[in-house]
Structure 1
């Protein structure tokens, strides 16, 4: 029995007892693999455990658009370099005994530019707010340092975008000197994501703070907090032009559906409702659009490799959780336990031949059933034959105080 089977069995049993919608386990497991810098949700398990991820269901469309041009002291948003500039390296940089790491975690192709530590703040007897404390790598200090930002994203090469609040009225881009250049927004935003080419920002907006939720206890959520997605804003980083489009989530959705870029930056997507339809795509006007080749086939965060030759997918068998699919031939290679570790999740590709993954210590036949939430970042070959530890172990990754990495290309 794999980690997936154990979690699915427990969540489905709880779903039956609580009369929650069927398929809760599949959506929770899918959400657990989504990018956690962008997605949040809370699910109560058999022991009322908190799972941070995303629950996804189809969205409803409303038309209309607004455009705002912002002049920033006559200089737009263009900076003279990335806020986090890392020199080229042919070596892997790791901190295998530290969790979270203090030294740079990077391969020749990708780097962990930042990480966040998540927790909850109780705001009333029945409500709490999910918060992240962000740590950004400082090359001058050769260490990760705490930031004041509520939301952070890093583009390839180390350009940094930030939000001051969980419902922010402006978005900022950091310069190498630490200066922040701001774009004012017509509608508040709760997430920010760089486009693949680093030229635009995608921000998702909600009518209320999407990070606020009912307090979870042994009896389940004490209050149901619903959040309506209002739409998205695309900011051109060079000119500072911001354009808003309305794109609501469907009424009565579970969880919060936030938006991300397609691989080529021509479309946006939200998580899909099933393992057969993992992503729903829209054009930049907010109109439904067909999925690009292979991008809607997986819940795995790593997705397609840079050369689009391989796809990180869920393993079809019980001998592994993660697998690699050869796009041309369709051959699927499960990533079986390697170097005493059970591969749980594919986080990012390092070139076309290696994957940054979350992995836990293998516990014999139990296959991490005991230590699923005690895991570390591991660099593995795409064929699963070799592994290099990148960080130490998180002892309780499902509990408040756990940290999450943010990787981008170097």
Structure 2
């Protein structure tokens, strides 16, 4: 469904050439690896045809009021003849709010949900990571707090939930808020829709994976409790059946080797081989029975959460040179376009695709050629074209993405 408010202003050109400050790219990659401390999953995958029996939330509609503010590279006026008149896709945004209250979406992709995170004290020496989830409600035209411990959204807005940290059933939300429950053989803490929206992957752990050890008062960790994976369940949504398969794994200091993810085509699952000295580490693949499997073609980690575009034409990758952190690679020609600073912003991380021509990214304010104006952890969601010449702010700036009280988005294709 198209969104009513169309961005009417023109967009800008590249900002002046700049050099990424020393160490910023490495810090961005380290932050990406640390994200499992705050998150279960970020949805990514091929365009999906969701099964008819999967329940869904109502179709998204754009809330009234507020256009996405358009930012122009180099501060040129909108009537400057040198600026391209090619407009972006239709956009709904809340560029002055963090977290957003109005719908954040493009014609192809929507932020169906987000969560805030905090540290909850459970004893004098232990704390757990507490996530509070918010789902977009088109009736109220805002994001509303939910009681769920974990949420994932498939293409089209199909929502799956877990009701507690180690849940014995998974729920599928209906359009009127009703829940269809599917029982699990083993408790699960992590859930992810398959790329085609027909299956769910749930991961089981020996203990609550949100228990992260001893924290300082500012939320920074002084001790990490390793997370131990016991196995996984695959849920056939149409049949309402789940099967569990053992797949033990010990965790490193940040639990990178224990979380499981779908392959791009949904036929395999994978985790990180953290025993490797390469950075990022390679992926280990398994079939849906938990047996080791050869890697599919071109399975290398791209360094960017967005991965492949919907048709596979482009891939969001870690930039191979020092002029940018993220880049776009044409998968047929191999041509690489670094996402250089644009309109006063560093592009830090590509997190989701909007069609094949735009990326949703995290970006911080640019301070000349010396890096971020305040901090790499103070950033906002920015819609960027694949050539890097257009940029539209989608949200306001998070004050510090690494501290309690911050928020993380959950995007899915519409």
CA gap of 1:397–1:115, structure 2 versus 1, over 3 A, is same
Instruction: Please report how far the alpha carbon of residue 296 of structure 1 lies from its aligned counterpart in structure 2 after TM superposition.
Output: 2.3
Post-superposition Cα deviations, 1:170-200, rounded to whole Å, max 9, x if no partner, equal 1100000111111111111001111111111
CA gap of 1:27–1:332, structure 2 versus 1, over 3 A, is closer
Please tell me whether residue 371 in structure 1 is matched to residue 370 in structure 2: no
Instruction: Please report how far the alpha carbon of residue 88 of structure 1 lies from its aligned counterpart in structure 2 after TM superposition.
Output: 10
Instruction: Please report how far the alpha carbon of residue 82 of structure 1 lies from its aligned counterpart in structure 2 after TM superposition.
Output: 1.6
Equivalent residue, structure 1, for 2:237: 237
Aligned 1:24-103 pairs, distance under 5 A: 28-32=30-34, 37-38=39-40, 79=53, 82-86=56-60, 91-103=90-102
Question: Would the aligned equivalents of 2:99 and 2:407 in 1 still touch at CA under 8 Å?
Answer: yes
CA gap of 1:188–1:34, structure 2 versus 1, over 3 A, is closer
CA gap of 1:300–1:36, structure 2 versus 1, over 3 A, is farther
Post-superposition Cα deviations, 1:257-303, rounded to whole Å, max 9, x if no partner, equal 21111111101111343336442221101112223233323121000
- Could you tell me which runs of 5 or more consecutive residues in structure 1 were left unpaired when the two chains were aligned: 9-24, 41-76
Q: How far apart, in 1, do the equivalents of 2:38 and 2:209 lie?
A: 14
CA gap of 1:161–1:80, structure 2 versus 1, over 3 A, is closer
Post-superposition Cα deviations, 1:374-398, rounded to whole Å, max 9, x if no partner, equal 1110000111111011111111111
Aligned 1:8-407 pairs, distance under 5 A: 8=26, 28-32=30-34, 37-38=39-40, 79=53, 82-86=56-60, 91-217=90-216, 223-250=223-250, 253-256=252-255, 257-273=258-274, 274-275=278-279, 277-368=281-372, 370-407=374-411
Question: Would the aligned equivalents of 1:379 and 1:390 in 2 still touch at CA under 8 Å?
Answer: yes
SS in 2 for 1:216: coil
Post-superposition Cα deviations, 1:32-55, rounded to whole Å, max 9, x if no partner, equal 577964269xxxxxxxxxxxxxxx
CA gap of 1:224–1:97, structure 2 versus 1, over 3 A, is closer
Q: How far apart, in 1, do the equivalents of 2:360 and 2:261 lie?
A: 20
Greater relative CO, 1 or 2 (CA 8 Å, sep 6+): 2
CA RMSD of aligned residues (A): 2.6
TM-score using structure 1 length? 0.81
Post-superposition Cα deviations, 1:210-258, rounded to whole Å, max 9, x if no partner, equal 110211349x8655523210000001111111010111114x6332221
TM-score using structure 2 length? 0.80
SS in 1 for 2:30: helix
Q: How far apart, in 2, do the equivalents of 1:222 and 1:32 lie?
A: 14
CA gap of 1:373–1:80, structure 2 versus 1, over 3 A, is closer
Q: Count how many residue pairs are aligned between Structure 1 and Structure 2.
A: 356
Q: How far apart, in 1, do the equivalents of 2:127 and 2:22 lie?
A: 28
Question: Would the aligned equivalents of 1:116 and 1:133 in 2 still touch at CA under 8 Å?
Answer: yes
Question: Would the aligned equivalents of 1:84 and 1:160 in 2 still touch at CA under 8 Å?
Answer: no
